């Protein structure tokens, strides 16, 4: 048997992911030692209540409520507590002690990433976080390492499995939003408080992390334009289907050229995707991310975007990498966020739009609407008018535009909403993926 150096591993949190990580560290200790070159000794598991029920059977003697004692002397600290505090305090304490940190905490990184990476640089430690975005799908390491020499132009995709499950159920099964959300909750896709998912916060946190890596610029959650799916209705899903689209909640990070040089846009919103696009066939709770690089071209990463076992896989990959660094010696690889590209306001982006209006059913309405779009420099690509059988006095117009700026669109929609012939702006959706 090969003699291996022993590294002490402290695990903070024993929820669905933490329990799986602990189980795998214990069950596969010999295999992990051969892969990493070090025996990974689970020194302890920080929990709030040692007697609480858990997703996996864990040795009672490993459970502790003493974070300071557990972190002190650890070579690798795995943070899976979630939230900002006390996770931030524990991570900074671990880094100051010289330990490497492995985390899946997207909220922490999207809010305090700069502070955490600076603390790691000061002591030569590393921070690894593959599990923070898209669970087991390898996306962080390819951006951080494999594509570090390339120039990333755009990242876009589905990074929240909960909302994808809901929208997919509404599209394929014809469910109302509340029914799809109820099923998602019963299956564990949504928490009791679904705000983080439904309002786009979870996807925005992940977008901030991806943009920071892709563009070597520190991006925080406050820099991300965010819109969730809470306003998406079964009627909007049906309208999209008739037009050959599917609605997906997208995270988009892209480099924009301008007179002053590059700037970046980071945004999350529900958008229309052509039904022939690969993202349209991402069903259930799966995730898929496209990366477009100048030299490498388009790349797609696809797989399960959530789940205890899947996320644990990404965590253990980072743990093995951290252990190898300890054995090889040297300082951790720091974050490259030195470009400091400016964040473009949402009004700077250009894309196509689909505007659905409820209007008075009378002659000349379509011409009036088209005239307003023309005056606002928004060009009409398609227009479809249908009469509402239940409301004989109203009709519905679905307008598809050519590419236009968000600023021009905002002015157009405001004018349409104030026009007497328009009774209601039903929806405004962007068209992406072209």
Between CA 160 and CA 146 the distance in angstroms is 24
Q: State the pairing for strand pair 286-293/297-304.
A: antiparallel
- Concerning whether 248 is annotated as a catalytic residue, the answer is no
Between CA 289 and CA 304 the distance in angstroms is 12
Q: State the pairing for strand pair 422-432/350-360.
A: antiparallel
Interior/surface letters 174-194, b for 16+ CB within 10 angstroms, e for the rest: ebebeebbebbeeeebbeeeb
Question: How far is residue 107 from each of residues 83, 205, 206, measured CA to CA in Å?
Answer: 6, 6, 8
Residue 44 contacts by C-beta under 8 Å, 6 or more apart in sequence? 10, 11, 62, 63, 64, 70
- Using CA atoms of 23, 28, 32, 34 in order, give the dihedral in degrees to the nearest 10: 170
Between CA 152 and CA 45 the distance in angstroms is 39
| Beta-bridge partners for 343 | 264
Between CA 286 and CA 140 the distance in angstroms is 17
Of 206, 255, 352, 396, the active-site residue reads: 206
Tell me the two tokens of residue 183.
């099923």
β strands within 275-421, DSSP E: 286-293, 297-304, 350-360, 380-387, 394-401, 404-405
Count other C-beta atoms under 10 Å from residue 60's C-beta: 8
Q: Is the peptide bond before 388 cis (omega within 30 degrees of 0)?
A: no
Helix axis angle for 201-215 and 106-123, nearest 10°, is 30
Active site residues: 206
């Amino acid at each position: 048997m090969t003699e291996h150096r022993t590294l002490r591993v402290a695990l903070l949190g024993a929820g669905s992911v933490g329990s799986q990580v602990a189980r795998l560290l214990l069950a596969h200790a010999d295999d992990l030692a051969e892969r990493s070159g070090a025996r990974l000794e689970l020194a302890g598991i920080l929990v709030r209540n040692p007697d609480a029920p858990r997703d996996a059977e864990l040795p009672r003697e490993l459970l502790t409520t003493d974070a300071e004692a557990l972190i002190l002397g650890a070579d690798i600290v795995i943070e899976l507590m979630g939230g900002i505090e006390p996770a931030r305090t524990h991570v900074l304490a671990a880094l100051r002690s010289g330990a490497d940190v492995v985390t899946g905490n997207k909220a922490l990184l999207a809010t305090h990433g700069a502070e955490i990476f600076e603390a790691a640089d000061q002591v030569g430690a590393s921070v690894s976080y593959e599990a923070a975005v898209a669970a087991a799908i390898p996306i962080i390491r390819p951006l951080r390492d494999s594509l570090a020499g390339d120039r990333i132009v755009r990242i876009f995709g589905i990074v929240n499995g909960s909302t994808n499950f809901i929208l997919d159920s509404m599209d394929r099964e014809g469910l109302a939003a509340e029914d799809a959300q109820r099923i998602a909750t019963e299956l564990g896709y949504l928490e009791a408080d679904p705000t983080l998912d439904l309002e786009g916060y979870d996807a925005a946190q992940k977008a901030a992390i991806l943009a920071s890596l892709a563009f070597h610029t520190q991006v925080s959650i406050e820099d991300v334009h965010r819109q969730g799916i809470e306003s998406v209705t079964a009627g909007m899903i049906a309208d999209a289907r008739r037009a050959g689209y599917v609605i997906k909640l997208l995270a988009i990070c892209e480099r924009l050229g301008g007179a002053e040089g590059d700037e970046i846009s980071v945004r999350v919103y529900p958008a229309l995707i052509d039904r022939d696009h690969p993202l349209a066939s991402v069903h259930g709770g799966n995730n898929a991310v496209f990366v477009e690089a100048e030299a490498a071209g388009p790349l797609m990463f696809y797989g399960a975007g959530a789940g205890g076992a899947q996320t644990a896989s990404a965590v253990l990959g980072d743990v093995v990498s951290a252990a190898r660094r300890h054995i090889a010696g040297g300082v951790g690889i720091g974050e490259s966020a030195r470009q400091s590209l400016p964040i473009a306001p949402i009004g700077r982006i250009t894309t196509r739009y689909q505007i659905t209006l409820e209007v008075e059913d009378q002659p000349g309405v379509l011409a009036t609407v088209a005239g307003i779009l023309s005056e606002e420099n928004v060009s009409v690509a398609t227009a479809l008018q249908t009469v509402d059988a239940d409301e004989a006095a109203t009709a519905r117009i679905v307008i598809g535009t050519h590419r236009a700026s968000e600023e021009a669109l905002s002015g157009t929609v405001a004018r349409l909403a104030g026009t007497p012939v328009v009774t209601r702006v039903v929806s405004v959706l962007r068209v992406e993926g072209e």
